[in-house]
Chain A
Amino acid sequence: AQKITQTQPGMFVQEKEAVTLDCTYDTSDQSYGLFWYKQPSSGEMIFLIYQGSYDEQNATEGRYSLNFQKARKSANLVISASQLGDSAMYFCAMNDAGNMLTFGGGTRLMVKP
């Protein structure tokens, strides 16, 4: 069964605007972590932001924030003031049982000048 679902295969956003990338997850565990990674066309995986299931406040890291709605099992990534360099593939991932991360299918974000 799909644990992480990213329903937007691709998105466009105008430079300097905000954009929300959707992520829903499925787990029966009470303790889990949610992660967002950015993968530019060069291929590397860049860690952006982390949200723990027990964290009461939404995580923020610079222009990135995570809109965590636990009851709805969603962990959307919000990028404020988009820049051309934000064009990349974005992966939502989760760890529940075990050490490994399970990734969603990704969303390709394209920032228009």
Chain B
Amino acid sequence: AAGVIQSPRHLIKEKRETATLKCYPIPRHDTVYWYQQGPGQDPQFLISFYEKMQSDKGSIPDRFSAQQFSDYHSELNMSSLELGDSALYFCASSTSDVAYNSPLHFGNGTRLTVT
């Protein structure tokens, strides 16, 4: 079965650089979520999109932005990177905009290291 595809798997950037993470949801999933998981921490919700519109916003820094495109893939853009942005970034998708009606399926994550 098709899963959520994230690219790249690993990314190394320097402070103050920019990074773009990509996410391709499971086919026919219309909702995409972005999570950030710091070392030894639980995943923290950043932002979600339903039918290409932002549906919820969590603890996403102003330096980050995201969007969902017409083909439902999503990109997380991160600017002015800081050391504290080093984390595992997950994308997840589901079939509806209400998570309790369907589970979130996560991608394998992008491990971002900021040096």
Please report A residues at the B interface, Cβ cutoff 8 Å: 31-33, 35, 37, 43-47, 50, 52-53, 91, 95-96, 98-106
Contacts and interface: CB of A to CB of B under 8 A. Distances in A.
Contacts of B24: none
Contact of B100 (A37, A46, A95): A95
Nearest to A46: B106
Nearest to A49: B103
B48 A45 contact: no
B114 interface: no
B99 A103 contact: no
Interface stretch (B15-23, B50-58, B76-84): B50-58
B98 interface: yes
B42 A99 contact: no
Nearest to A50: B103
B13 interface: no
A2 to B, nearest CB: 11
A50 B42 CA distance: 18
Interface size of B as a range: 20 to 34
B100 A33 contact: yes
Q: Which of B31, B103, B106, B109 has the most CB of A within 10 A?
A: B103
B104 interface: yes
Nearest to B97: A99
Nearest to B43: A103
Contact of B99 (A33, A44, A104, A106): A33
Contacts of B103: 35, 47, 50
27 contacts: A33-B101, A44-B106, A44-B107, A44-B109, A45-B106, A46-B106, A47-B104, A50-B103, A53-B100, A91-B42, A91-B43, A95-B100, A98-B56, A99-B31, A99-B48, A99-B50, A99-B56, A100-B33, A100-B56, A100-B58, A101-B33, A101-B43, A101-B45, A103-B42, A104-B42, A105-B42, A106-B42
